[in-house]
Amino acid sequence: MAAGEFVGLIGPNGAGKTTLFNVVSGLVRPTGGRVLVDGQDVTHAAVHTRARHGMGRTFQSSSVFPDLPALENVRLAAQAHRGGSMRLWGSDRGSVGRARECLARVRLDERADHAAGSLSHGDKRKLEIAIVLATSPRLLLLDEPMAGLGIEDVPELVAVIRDLHEAGITVLMVEHHIEVLFGLADRIAVLHHGRLVGCDTPRAVMADPLVQSAYLGEPL
């Protein structure tokens, strides 16, 4: 992926999409190949080291501190990124300011004082992105951010992701909503049984019979 690029990752269930994310983000060690960030080999680096290199990730299932306000969820990430601990007391103004800025970027500034657990599913997705933004990522890995969203929540989350990409963040996103990727991605990569079978513009990829077969889960 080139800096500033948006690549969508698709494939049938079991194709290896989340496994690839786990390898890139450091949760799984690969049996072959390398992971390079800005030309630096991070294949065997710890997760927090990759984060320091500018890599951030969300997961398929929402993961927030439900009893804490949205602001505190983001503030803790900002504080840790600034070299502080994940403690709930003694926050500095810089971390609070950074948290408010990140909430504004995902259009949650008006819900800063709401408990994270009380937010809608769509707002929790945006909160997770705000938490990642607090670490100043240059590469953002989004694992099915639209999963479980009501159709009315999709356009606003798409707009948030588009804004982040247009601001210069490189994005790699797994998503089953092909129409969403069509409106966002520069290229779409297709996995089938752990193998890359296509990577091109959205229109070219979806016109490829081999890719169509793979995405439908049919034998190649």
Instruction: State pLDDT tens for residues 67-114.
Output: 999 999 999 999 888 765 555 555 577 889 999 999 999 999 999 999
Backbone torsions φ then ψ of 176, nearest 5 degrees:
-90, -20
Number of domains in the chain: 2
Specify the residue for token string 């019979």.
Answer: 209
Q: How many CA atoms lie within 13 A of 135 on its CB side?
A: 24
**Domain-ending residue, one of 113, 136, 159:** 136
Distances (CA, A) of 120 to 1, 3, 37, 42, 99: 33, 33, 34, 36, 19
**Domain-ending residue, one of 106, 136, 166:** 136
Q: What is the H or E stretch that residue 101 is in? A: helix 93-105
Spell out, as residue ranges, where the chain has pLDDT lower than 70. 83-91, 214-220
Domain with 1, as residue range(s), is 1-54+137-220
Domain identity same for 31 and 76: no
In angstroms, the CA 71 to CA 154 distance is 23
Residue 29 falls inside a structural domain: yes
In angstroms, the CA 133 to CA 171 distance is 12
Residue 59 falls inside a structural domain: no
pLDDT at 78: 92
pLDDT at 19: 93
Residue 131 falls inside a structural domain: yes
Domain identity same for 124 and 155: no
Residue 166 falls inside a structural domain: yes
Residue 146: count of CB within 10 angstroms of its CB: 20
